[in-house]
Each structure stands twice: as structure tokens, then as C-alpha cells.
Amino acid sequence: MQQLVELGRATDRRFMVRLVKGAYWDSEIKFSHQNGWPDFPVWTTKPATDLNFLVCARTMLKAPDAIYGQFATHNAHSLAAVRELAQQAGVESYEFQRLHGMGESLYKSVVERDGFPCRIYAPVGGHKDLLAYLVRRLLENGANSSFVTIVGDASVPVEKMLKRPKELLDSGHHSINRSIPLPKDLYGDSRQNSAGVEFGCAAERNLLTSGMAKTTAPFTEAAPLGAGLKPSGDANPVFAPMDGSTKVGTVRFADSETARLAVENAQKGFEKWSRRPVEERAAAIDKVGDLLEANRDRLMTILSLEAGKCLTDGIAEIREAVDFCRYYAAEARNLFGEGKLMPGPTGEENRYRYRGRGVFVCISPWNFPLAIFLGQISAALMAGNAVVAKPAEQTPLIAYETARLMYQAGIPEDVFYLLPGEGDVGAALTSHPAVAGLAFTGSTETAWLINGTLAAKRGPIVPLVAETGGINAMIVDATALPEQVCDDVMMSAFRSAGQRCSALRLLYVQEDVADHLLDMLEGAAKELSLGDPRLPSTDIGPVIDEEARDNILSHVDDMKESQKLRYAGKTPHGTLANGSWVAPHIIELDKAEALTREVFGPVLHVVRYKAGDLDKVLNQIAGTGYGLTLGVHSRIDATVKKVVDRLSVGNVYVNRNTIGAVVGTQPFGGSGLSGTGPKAGGPAYLTRFALEQVVSINTAAAGGNASLVAASDD
């Protein structure tokens, strides 16, 4: 508030400032939890909020030359306190405010008897636009702690209502609601939440960008890593997709012989690693998460240049990788170790336990070159396996940097092998007879090939943990809030340049609201900024490479022939003109069947449906065979239930965006053509990387059943 006063005086302006308290505070707390902020931007107790209101009011009233105070409150105590503060400051030029339909009796005396001005504010618009706002106001003012609720309760003594906030705070002992965990403590004793960045805070934002600026390209010379491997071959340059010319680093690719050697060496490392106590393995993986946060700025710069990640997407990816490490470490502590005693007859001990399988191959994609890469690896390692990892050929540098941090954290070099390479390396790993399992994220077509190769091998039948693509849909009916739908569609379809497995591809809109919503979507898309992903002002970065760009634009050209192109954005010019850019596109389809495949980029397809055709829509979605993510925007519970019950989709998001699944909160993965399960970041994931074993011991064989003899019927 003091900064606002100084700004008014510096510019010779008098600002009209409306002071409210507690509005949307619960949303702010939720955002803090979701984004991993250090603390909350709001007070978490009612007395602290009330006192802060009065402190701000006093500051405003002491600066009548810079601030015209507008005090919005339905609390009689706060109102009286403002009047007293104004009288002490000798200020008469200010006003009160109240919501239409509320506080009428209170302000009748204030206005008619005492002559203070009161402005009445009210929402203006149709019922469908105002319903959400009115419900919000009712919830806030109907809360148990609200003065409006208390004043109507005859059982509450007047003395209690008139207690000053300072008294209720009890010298600060009640200033914090300790039942609300801080963001870092969101998951209790099991693990620490990953740290995020509040991009609305200039200090935090500048700390990140200045740290990134100190990391200059080229960064590193990536090569195969692991005990017994010697890099060979030419160093291939890696260029930034934003312009095609900025050299990010170099990479020496592995070959099929290196792949064979890595698997054989990893088999030896497995014998020692699988026998290490689970707590030691967990401590190493936890340390990887800590090192990721400690090296945030360097990793962010590589993600931005090598993978085209915007700042918000880069931070989200680092956080997801950290969460994977900490979550799997916590889960392994419970699952592995001594095992679980099973019920059975006296004189016998039956213990059920998990143990590692052997050498696990992890093949990760370029769209999440850190989070998915490390998620697969950390799960396999925590289950007691050795790992040979092949990152996507487009993003070897971030994988190499992460691998070095893993060794620094204590992962042995004969337990984890990194093999940057092309298709021949993946083929060699998949076909190796000693491979005990394989984790893969990528296209459905590639997953089919891998599955066939694994099935053709002679030897143990090994698991394939695959997460593949999907024609992800969102259904929007006429009851949905258009503004919320617009925000969620923009994020779901265009965040990360549409290069997310969970990205929205097909939007079903009830025809009654389609025209209005499409106008909003087009307007919102025009506001999205394409540019250097290292800049805070950039919303959308480049797609991964020229091949991806050409495939997406070819699809758009095909759609123009038979469908309606509603919107096509503009790509950057100047020094970025040669980058692999695809601007947001919105295409209206005459029927859903016109979209026959997943288009991995910022292209949103929209189709209208009639109110009575919801069953037809659900059948169309089911008919694609995919089952990764689904969005539903509706304020009718029966509609939501119908959709959820009908469709076997891995992740269903109701009245929110369809991206950004959080580890341990929204385990991610689909079914059908979208993957094998189990879900990444979920309680069943580690078990797929492990073997089950039961050890049965006849304890009576030692000469008798001592526990039975000692048993008493007391």
C-alpha cells in the first residue's frame, strides 16, 4: 500500500483504491499449493485478515493527497474502526461500499443517520453470467467466520463480536492457521513438495531470468555415460529450434555395439544395487531431486534452448521431475525392504516382498525430456533395477546434464547408463535377450513395434510399461462458464505449443453456445505471444524441429480443403524467422470423424453438437480407441457422472484444464491405444518394475512352536 502512495505522489495523481478483505483467499491458497510457492500471499486467519484491513486503511487515510479510500465491508466493527481512523487523521473525503442486497440495515444508519457516503456495487448481466459470482458471494458471506453470519446468530454474545482483531491474534499466536500446510509441506511427512516460481512477483521472476542469463551456450558435449563405455564417433551439433542456428551443444551418439555392452555391464551392477537397502537407494534418488532444484537455472536454460520450453513450462517440468524422485523414493520405502507378513497358520512365517527384475530399458520422448526421462529411470532404480536409458535424439543435452547429477547424487555408474542415440540404439536395446523390462513414452505406432520385438524374444516374458498418444477431447455444454472454458481451452490446447500427450485436440461444444465461445477462443488466441522461450513475455515456443513443423502445417493445409479454418496465428519474424514455428490454429469440423489422427501441435479442432446428442458424442470419443485425457465443462452433476461412467479414460478433468497432472495427486496414463498402465506418479507404478516373491519359513522346524507354547488365554 505504501508503494501505491509513493506512486501517486510521484505522478501527482490521486488513486481511487477499493479496499476489500478475504476475497478469493481460498483460491490464493490453492494456487500457492499447486505452484509450490514459499508461502501464501494472503493471511490464513480471520483476525489477521481483519487487522491487515485496518492497517491498510490507516495507511490510505494518512495519504488523502494520493489515495481516495473506498472501504468495502459488511463488518460493523471494521466500519466503525475506519470511521475512527479517518477522524484521527482528519480526513473526510472517503466512502464506504456494500454489495447490493447486503448490509442494508447496517448502512441505513451509517448513511441516513450519520451522513457518510456509501456506494452500492452490483453485478450486471444475465443469469447465466452472474450465477457463479452470486454463489461465490453467498459462500464467502455465509461462512461461519463471517461477521454477516455471526451477527444474525442470537446465541453469539455482543462482546464476542466486538473483540478487536489484535486481541484475537493473542500477540501473534493465532496469526497463522496451522491446519493449512505450507506449500512445501503439502504432502506431510512422506515427502517435500517441489519448489515453484511466482511469475507475478518481480523479484522471483528476475532472480530466475538473471540466473539463466549467466548460463551461456554452448553448454555441454553430451556422450554415452556409464562404467566401461568410451565415447566415440563424431560430435554432432545441437541447434535451438527457436531459430535453427543457435548452437546449444554437441552430442556423440551411441551405436548398437555400445548398447550391447551397456546392457551386459548393467547386469553386473544390478546384482549389487538390488541388494542395497531400500533406504540407501531412496536417499540417492531424493538427492537427485535436491540437485535438480539446486541447478534450476542451468536446467531451465537448456530446456528453453534445446526443447523450446517457455519459462512456465520449464519450471513445471523441473518440478515434475523433482516430484517423481521424491514420490517414488517415499513409495519404495513402504513397498520394498523387509516385506509384508501374510496371515497364516501358527508355526509358520509367510513374508511377501518385492525385488528388482534386472536391467530395465527406459526410452523417453522429447516433449518432456527431463520429467518423463527421469520419471521412468527413478522408478526403475527405486524398484532395485539397473537402467539403460535412451533419451530422444532431439534432446540429448538435458538428459546428459541430468545423468551427471544422478552420478553426483550417488547412483553408481555401473547401475545407470545413458545412451544418446537414434533408432538403431533403441532397436538394439529392445531386442537384447537380457533386458528384463522396458518403459516407453511415445507414439502408439512405435509402441506396437516394441511390443512385437519383446514378444518375439525367447526367454522370460518381460513387462512393457507404455504411455502413448490420444485424440484428447473436451465436452462443453450450455451450462458451462464461458470465461473459464476459454482459459482452460487456451491452456489445454496451446500450452507447450500443443506438444503434450494430454493436450486438447478435439473440442465438442453444444451448438447453443458455440458461436459465442468460438468468438472468445479466437480473441484469446490472438493474445498469445510467440517468441524466444527464455523471455517471461513469451506464451508459446517453437515446436521441436522442422519435421514436426512440416507435419503439422501439412495437416492444416489438408483441413483447409474440406473444413473451416477459424483462426491462424502469426509466427515470429526477424532473427527467429527460420525457427520451427507453428502458430495456434482453430479449425471447425463438420463432423468429429474428420479428425482421424493425433496432431501433435497447437491445432485445436472444434465440432458442434446438439443438446440431445450427448450419447452420440460419447460413442464417437469411445470409438477412437484412445483413452488418455478427457475434459468436461458442465455445471450439471448428472452430466458429469454420465460422461465419467461411459468413457474408460485414464484422466478425466472436470471444469478445469486437461494438462499438468501432478505426481502423487493426479497419476497420469491412459488405456486402450493410449497405454498399458500403470499410471506414472501413482501408487501402482513401482510394482510394474518389480518381481513378487513370497518366502515361507516353517518356524516350528527349530524344535517346537515357542510362540504357541507361550500363548496365554488371559
| Catalytic status, residue 598 | no
Q: Which three cell numbers stand for residue 254?
A: 551411441
What is the rounded distance in angstroms from the CA atom of residue 399 to the CA atom of residue 215? 17
Task: Pick the catalytic residue from 320, 325, 501, 598.
Answer: 501
Bridge partners, 540 (sequence order) = 530
Q: Round to whole Å and give the CA distance between 485 and 507.
A: 11
Distance CA 610, CA 379 (A): 45
Amino acid at 298: R
Positions of E strands within 610-649: 626-627, 629-633
Helices (H), 37-157: 46-61, 76-89, 104-108, 127-141, 147-151
Q: Count other Cβ atoms within 10 Å, centred on residue 703.
A: 6
Structure letter (DSSP) for residue 275: T
**Long-range contact set of residues 173-182: C-beta below 8 Å, sequence gap at least 24:** 174/45, 174/47, 174/48, 175/43, 175/45, 175/47, 175/48, 176/44, 176/45, 176/48, 177/44, 177/45, 180/29, 180/40, 180/44, 182/38, 182/39, 182/40
Cell numbers for 263: 546392457
Judge whether 221 and 252 are in contact, CB under 8 Å.
Answer: yes
Distance CA 333, CA 277 (A): 10
Backbone angles phi, psi at 557, to 5 degrees: -60, -40
**333 vs 279: CA distance, rounded Å:** 6
Set of cell numbers at residue 175: 496469526
Instruction: State how beta strands 473-476 and 464-467 pair.
Output: unpaired
| Omega prior to 218 cis, within 30 of 0 | yes
SS (H, E, C) 35-51: HCCCCCCCCCCHHHHHH
Report the alpha-carbon distance of residue 397 to residue 419 in Å, rounded. 12
Cell of 621: 470419443
Cell 487523521 locates to: 89
Going from the C-alpha of 484 to that of each of 129, 476, 491, the distances in angstroms are: 11, 11, 11
C-alpha triplet 385, 318, 207: angle, nearest 5°:
145
Q: Grid coordinates representing 303?
A: 530446456
Q: State the burial class of residue 638 (Cβ atoms within 10 Å of its Cβ: 0-12, 13-18, 19+).
A: exposed
Q: Is 467 marked active-site? A: yes
Distance CA 516, CA 613 (A): 20
Catalytic residue among 467, 547, 588, 593: 467
- Active site positions, annotated: 467, 501
